[in-house]
Structure 1
Amino acid sequence: TNMMIEGLADGEIPSQNDHMGWAKLATQIYTGLFFSSYAIRDVKWHLQAGNENVWLFTYAHRSLLPFNREIDGWIPISHSSELPYLWFYPDVWENNNISKADLAVAEKLGTIWTDFAKYGTLSFPKVENSMNFIEIGEKISMKPNWSSKANDVFNERFPAYVGQFPPLKIAEKSWTKMKQLGAKVLSKWNAVQCLKSSTFPSTTRDAPNTSIIALTILMLTQSLRLMILNIR
């Protein structure tokens, strides 16, 4: 426990009665343990397997739009907060106050995701060994050392106490199952004719063009293709 608190607090441990400070720190610990540390290991798997086409993102837009959740002025960025900006759920967008920042973030997310679906690559720097990442908020910025504190605590220091994590290698049997599953999904997808963007009803005022929604779906196909191509 002390290792997690000291490692994620980065020298700024909240005082005993700073309940908000402890809530934020607990959120960082939970995120690092159950999300960031696993994502970093996934990145290492890809890089060690020779797949350099890897990009990391951090969603950093704080808004009440996704969950309408605010705690003493703090708007946490919860897991899946970005999904309404990609899929434009009518019950979210038509029943909340939408800001210009919300629309700007939706446009950025839609453009990035559909560019990857169309071209299989992005203009942003790849992750590489320096763990470059794209931070998406009202503005897009590039930064290095993605979740470095979580990586240090959970991937570097934890093994000394709980033993080594499984090596960054997947059994051939598992790779075979993944390839077979990917082929089945692609086969079903290719058997279905894609709908034109005009088929999607526009239910949200001022939303980006519905063709972005249609193209976002294509990202799934492109991702599966890349997965099959890069599995050895």
Structure 2
Amino acid sequence: MDTQNSIEFKQSCKSIASCQLTRKKNGARAIFVLENASLHKGFIHKKKKILCCHDDSSFLLKQGKNPNDYRPDIFYEALRAILDSPLNKADMVGAVFVKADSGVIIKFKPQTRIPRTFKRFCGIMVELLEKSCVRAKDSGEVLIEVLKEPLALHMPENARIIGLSYSSEKLVDVEDYLSAIQDNSNLVFVVGTMVHGKVSKESTNDYISVSSYPLSAKCCIGLVCEALEQKWKLAHG
């Protein structure tokens, strides 16, 4: 790298760092709400577990249940997409909230490191539903907790709540859409984590679709995170 390019690179890094510092002073963060997450406890082979259609379809059918309604793997992949994103690593995710289809509301702190395997994650969720919180082993800090309803109690006052659904008639280019929003509010993205159905319009400030095609929750979140990383000029790597 020659001297001129080196200077330009350092100036660019300084500009990015300045942008990030300004946003942190303003308090703006991205918040995610994962709606209709499947988190149902069951007792199979003398063991408590989170019911999942992939492993427990026979049991669910015997109980007269539709296995497609038991997809905690969708919620797990969506959560990983947020927590593993460069957006979160840059400290620009304020929180992740989960509205289970059973009505339970859960909060994940952004620094939470969830298990890399789905089976172990389900074990943590069983612990959470029984104890109402999960703490860090070393510090005792609460990383995941069950909250009191309704979710609106836990939203910041300056929140701009954006519902994302393929069913919305408002199709947007997500990068253009987010770049037009000022940084003086916390952006709250509501994403469905169920097989069928759609995110509720209730309590949202806007209701948009980010693709002409149906997307998984994981893919939808990926598009949003990448657009925010571009908007906020976050350095990758």
Q: TM-score scaled by structure 2?
A: 0.23
Return the structure number with greater strand share: 2
Return the structure number with greater helix share: 1
Q: TM-score scaled by structure 1?
A: 0.23
